[in-house]
Amino acid sequence: MALTHAIMTALLEDRLSGYELARSFDTSLGFFWKASHQQIYKCLRELEVQGLLSSEEISQETRPDKVVYQLTDSGRAELDHWVAGEGQLREAKDDLFVKLYNLNEKNLPHIQRELTARAEHTRARLALYRQIRERRYQRPQDMPLRQRGIYLALLAGINHCEQFLQWTESCEQLLASAAVN
């Protein structure tokens, strides 16, 4: 489960509760690895049993108590070991492309709508990425290595969105004429 490594990565610099992890997976690292809170809590318990994380209960006055986790030395070692290993490529799976294989006169309007919706979603995502870049990564070349890595991941997200939006324009062009016929 690479989710374990994503969680440990999120804990590299901060001690976080399951809830906070789930929140941070809605942004930042979560742009590249999504997980539900259920999965995260389960994973956290397993990681603690394995001794890769340690936990501490924090009492809070105004809010419910929470349990924060941090990397243990052996967690750090395991993470280093994972990073040093060969990453395996998992092919992206996307409904949209499978649907395009089904394109015909009848479903054309619907698929065009889906393309538009995806473009819309991608535009929003791109705006968010760009905002993060402007706020925090004006001069990546001056930053420490880890920050540069995070910046590069962000840049991959930005480039991917830009490319996707260009592609949706190609789709519009190639499908526009068909809509008339």
Partner DNA sequence: CGCCGCATGTAATTAGTTACATGATTGT
Partner DNA sequence: ACAATCATGTAACTAATTACATGCGGCG
How far apart are the C-alpha atoms of 96 and 114, rounded to whole Å? 8
Query: Does 90 sit near DNA (CB under 7 A)?
Result: yes
Which amino acid belongs to residue 174?
Answer: L
Pick from 56, 69, 90: which is nearest to 20 by CA?
A: 69
Query: What are the two backbone dihedrals, phi and then psi, of residue 87, each rounded to the nearest 5 degrees?
Result: -75, 140
User: Site for a second copy (CB under 8 A): which residue of 9, 54, 70, 72?
Assistant: 9
Query: Does 92 sit near a second copy (CB under 8 A)?
Result: yes
User: Site for a second copy (CB under 8 A): which residue of 21, 22, 29, 47?
Assistant: 29
Query: Does 82 sit near DNA (CB under 7 A)?
Result: no
How far apart are the C-alpha atoms of 131 and 135, rounded to whole Å? 6
Pick from 117, 126, 136: which is nearest to 158 by CA?
A: 126
Tokens matching residue 136: 């925090």
Q: Which does 176 bind (CB under 5 to 8 A by kind): a second copy, DNA, none?
A: none
Query: Does 38 sit near DNA (CB under 7 A)?
Result: yes
Pick from 135, 150, 160, 137: which is nearest to 9 by CA?
A: 150
CB of 166 to a second copy, least distance (A): 7
User: Site for DNA (CB under 7 A): which residue of 42, 118, 123, 130?
Assistant: 42
Q: Which does 94 bind (CB under 5 to 8 A by kind): a second copy, DNA, none?
A: a second copy
How far apart are the C-alpha atoms of 130 and 9, rounded to whole Å? 23
**Region of 15-23, 60-68, 93-101, 128-136 interacting with a second copy (CB under 8 A):** 93-101
Distances (CA, A) of 176 to 83, 116, 172: 46, 13, 6
What residues between 51 and 90 interact with a second copy by CB under 8 A? 79-80, 83-84, 86-90
Can you give the binding site for a second copy, defined by CB under 8 A?
Answer: 2, 5-6, 9, 12, 29-34, 79-80, 83-84, 86-108, 110-111, 114, 118, 121, 140-141, 145-146, 148-153, 155-156, 159-160, 162-164, 166-167, 170-171, 174-175, 177-178
